[in-house]
């Protein structure tokens, strides 16, 4: 189950990010996220799905351990409500891991629920990572992954397909290196995220020739390449394409709808 919750905007300013469009301008009001979760859980009940069989992804279009976005009281209330779920997945920037994350993980673990943290590594290309204003370098990701490993918190990694500042002809080769890096960090799941020219910064980069939006063919090629890399490393790492806005890639593409449906089906089977 993926729960889309509305809260405060992320304080970081990654150049490719369009998630702020789905956030509030002000601090998340206390109690708002816990209340939103209750609505989602009621739907789960309606469908007769037991929480103990459910992986729950809590998606707040920001960082879960950023206190303006997720007040401490809500985080603890959410952890209490999620105890007993098969797994809980939240997103965090590597620089925001720390005591809040640890407390949340411990509260879940007291109900036998494992926490999985998703981090946006985006690419292993050090210069592009810097140019995208990620606010973290490859060493920061390595330290964050180790911190999670030491606390038995699972790791999911997001990688971009169609990375700004990388030539089109080099995209797949860098994606392969990024998948290798994600595996080395100990990721159990890797989600490939096609970039979108939906914000002014990305449109400006596209006009300046520093960014080319990915095609459906590039996304498919990236997925096949990622699977090949993972096959050579570990059968346990699951790779899929994030289904968010995938339909945008189908416009004018022969057989686009069927190809998008295939990617969505793969994503659904590897959540």
Residue numbers at the binding site for ligand SF4 (CB under 6 A)? 10, 12-14, 17, 19, 62-63, 93, 120
The DSSP bridge partners found for residue 56 are: 88
Nearer to ligand SF4, 190 or 230 (CB): 190
Q: Distance (Å, rounded) from C-alpha 260 to C-alpha 247? A: 7
Looking at the Cβ atoms of 193 and 260, the one nearer to ligand SF4 is 193
For the bound state, the minimum distance from the C-beta of residue 155 to ligand SF4, rounded and expressed in Å, comes to 16
For residues 202 and 155, the answer to whether their CB atoms sit within 8 Å is no
* Distance separating alpha carbons of residues 244 and 188, to the nearest angstrom: 20
In the complex, minimum distance from the CB of residue 132 to ligand SF4, in angstroms, rounded to a whole number: 9
Q: Which is nearer to ligand SF4, 19 or 266 (CB)?
A: 19
What Å distances lie between residue 58 and 13, 116, 150, 220, CA to CA? 21, 11, 23, 27
Q: Which is nearer to ligand SF4, 17 or 230 (CB)?
A: 17
Q: How many helices (H) and strands (E) does the chain have?
A: 9, 7
Beta-strand relationship, 238-241 and 2-4: unpaired
Q: Please, what is the minimum distance in Å from the beta carbon of residue 83 to ligand SF4?
A: 26
Residue 17 beta carbon to ligand SF4: minimum distance, rounded to whole angstroms: 3
Q: How far is the CB of 177 from ligand SF4 (least distance, A)?
A: 20
Closer residue to ligand SF4, CB minimum distance, 7 or 120:
120
């Amino acid at each position: 189950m993926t729960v889309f919750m509305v809260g405060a905007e992320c304080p970081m300013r990654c150049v490719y990010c369009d998630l702020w469009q789905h956030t509030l301008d002000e601090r998340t009001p206390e109690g708002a996220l816990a209340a939103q979760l209750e609505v989602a859980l009621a739907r789960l009940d309606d469908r007769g799905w037991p929480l103990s069989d459910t992986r729950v992804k809590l998606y707040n279009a920001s960082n879960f351990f950023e206190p303006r976005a997720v007040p401490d009281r809500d985080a603890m209330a959410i952890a209490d409500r999620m105890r007993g779920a098969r797994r809980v997945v939240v997103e965090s920037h590597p620089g925001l891991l720390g005591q809040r994350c640890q407390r949340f993980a411990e509260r879940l673990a007291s109900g036998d629920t494992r926490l999985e943290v998703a981090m946006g590594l985006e690419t292993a290309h050090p210069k592009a990572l810097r140019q995208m204003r990620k606010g973290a370098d490859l060493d920061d990701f390595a330290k964050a992954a180790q911190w999670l490993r030491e606390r038995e918190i699972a790791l999911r990694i997001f990688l971009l397909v169609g990375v700004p500042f990388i030539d089109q002809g080099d995209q797949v080769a860098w994606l392969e290196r990024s998948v290798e890096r994600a595996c080395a960090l100990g990721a159990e799941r890797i989600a490939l995220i096609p970039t979108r020219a939906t914000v002014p910064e990305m449109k400006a980069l596209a006009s300046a020739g520093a960014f080319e939006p990915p095609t459906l063919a590039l996304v498919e090629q990236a997925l096949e390449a990622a699977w090949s890399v993972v096959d050579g490393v570990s059968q346990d790492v699951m790779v899929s394409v994030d289904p968010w806005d995938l339909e945008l890639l189908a416009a004018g593409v022969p057989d686009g709808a069927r190809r998008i449906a295939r990617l969505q089906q793969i994503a659904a089977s590897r959540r």
